[in-house]
Amino acid sequence: MKRTLAALVAVVVLAATVAFSRQDVPPNFQIESGKSNPWTHLRLNRDSGIFQFAIVSDRTGGHRDKIFSQTVDRLNLMQPEFVLSVGDLIEGGKKKSDTIHAEWKEFDSYVQRLKMPFFYVPGNHDVGNEANTAIWGERYGRRHYHFVYKNVLFLCLNTDDPPGAGVPRLSQEQVDYAKKALADNSNVRWTLVFLHKPIWTSGDLKKRGWRDVEQALADRPYTVFCGHVHRFRKFVRQGRDYYQLATTGGGSKLRGIPYGEFDQIAWVTMKDNGPVLAHVLVDSILDDELKSPDSDEVGVRIARQKTYPARGFVYFNGVPVVGAQVAFSSAEQEGRRAVRADGFTSGDGSFELSTYTANDGIPAGKYKVTVVQRRPLVTLEGKAGPNQLPARYAAATTTPLEVEVKEQDNEFRLDLTP
């Protein structure tokens, strides 16, 4: 009887083992498997090499109430393994040392609430002059560094080196550091680069220091992330993806996805064959009561002139111009700052102007009008696409188009000729 029972148990165990083997059941997974099963397969989308992290973008240029601090709470809901930034974390600028320290103290109070590590990357608002660079050094030490996690190299660079240059630049010391970090970690499965400014769009890449770094990257799989422009854009260089992220509370007209103007978290799942990206809109992340987190974060109030609705139509040889950027600009005048408002034309050639927020119009006054239709708007390499319209309409110094915006609803017809 005991032999029969033991044999029966052995058969059951063997059958279960065969069934589990056939279903490729992962460890610690218990499920009853049959000849037919109500699931596709049991190959879980998880292995020891997979991990997830998040990237936040600019919080400056007139940051808005509550956005970044609420993002911290939303990140705690999503539970990445860690969070990285692409710089411009405080307003910074030429201010007293105590004010800069206070801005950092406020920012640190937010990221210290994260349940996971946060990695700083400097932007021009953070280290754009010698004084602010010194404060960064006191508080955070290095302005460029690297680390390796699960055989992935994270290279964090500073595009304001030396500070105050205005244009993006990497010092020779930093270039040498990056090249050595890459050489010392030549066998990693992927390399991720984080910096603030899209330095590859800035002209003489050799002079800027980027050409040497990019050449050192060329023999490996890699991905680059930056911010600074407050507008999402994807580039492709050397067959690799370069992402310019939108904002995480920074100044933005917030005209939405077609304009690349939105608050986001870049959610990265690192797999064996490279990163998988999801661009997550910040305000779409809600808790289990479908509520947004509360916050007392106060944004920066930027002086704004009163605006008036302004819209219109653009025609070239009598035909509506589609997908063109229309910009109204004024020179700085006594008692009044320079103003620039813009919009893109729709399928019927219509446009609506935005100065501070989406479709808010423009202050009253006289303006030069430029119209540019680029196909594409920006090439994958990061250069402006070719203009399809006459060149004289592309610059305020040459355009024949001038208008006056009045303190009322305004509508304009812009007729372009060859």
Q: Is 70 exceeded by the pLDDT of residue 398?
A: yes
pLDDT in tens, 132-174: 999 999 999 999 999 999 999 999 999 999 998 889 999 999 9
Contacting residues for 145 by C-beta, under 8 A, at least 6 apart: 156
Please give the mean pLDDT across all residues of the chain.
91
- Looking at the domain covering 51-284, what would its CATH class be? alpha beta
The reported pTM is 0.89
pLDDT in tens, 254-283: 999 999 999 999 999 999 999 999 999 999
pLDDT in tens, 134-144: 999 999 999 99
By percentage, how much of the chain surpasses pLDDT 90?
80
Query: Which whole number is the average pLDDT over 336-345?
Result: 90
Q: Is 70 exceeded by the pLDDT of residue 80?
A: yes
Per DSSP bridges, beta strands 365-372 and 325-330 are antiparallel
Query: Which whole number is the average pLDDT over 92-104?
Result: 95
pLDDT in tens, 277-307: 999 999 999 999 998 898 999 999 888 999 9
Query: Which whole number is the average pLDDT over 210-227?
Result: 97
Name the band, by pLDDT with cuts 50, 70 and 90, for residue 32: confident
* The predicted structure's pLDDT at residue 67: 97
Residue 336 CA, chain-centre distance (Å), reads 32
* The predicted structure's pLDDT at residue 333: 63
Q: Is 70 exceeded by the pLDDT of residue 234?
A: yes
* The predicted structure's pLDDT at residue 5: 43
pLDDT in tens, 346-371: 999 999 999 999 999 999 999 999 99
Q: Is 70 exceeded by the pLDDT of residue 17?
A: no
Q: Is 80 exceeded by the pLDDT of residue 72?
A: yes
Q: Domains of the chain: which residue ranges? A: 1-44, 51-284, 310-416
Choose between 23 and 389: higher pLDDT: 389
- Fold category of 310-416 in CATH: Immunoglobulin-like (2.60.40)
Query: Which whole number is the average pLDDT over 187-211?
Result: 95
Query: Which whole number is the average pLDDT over 59-63?
Result: 95
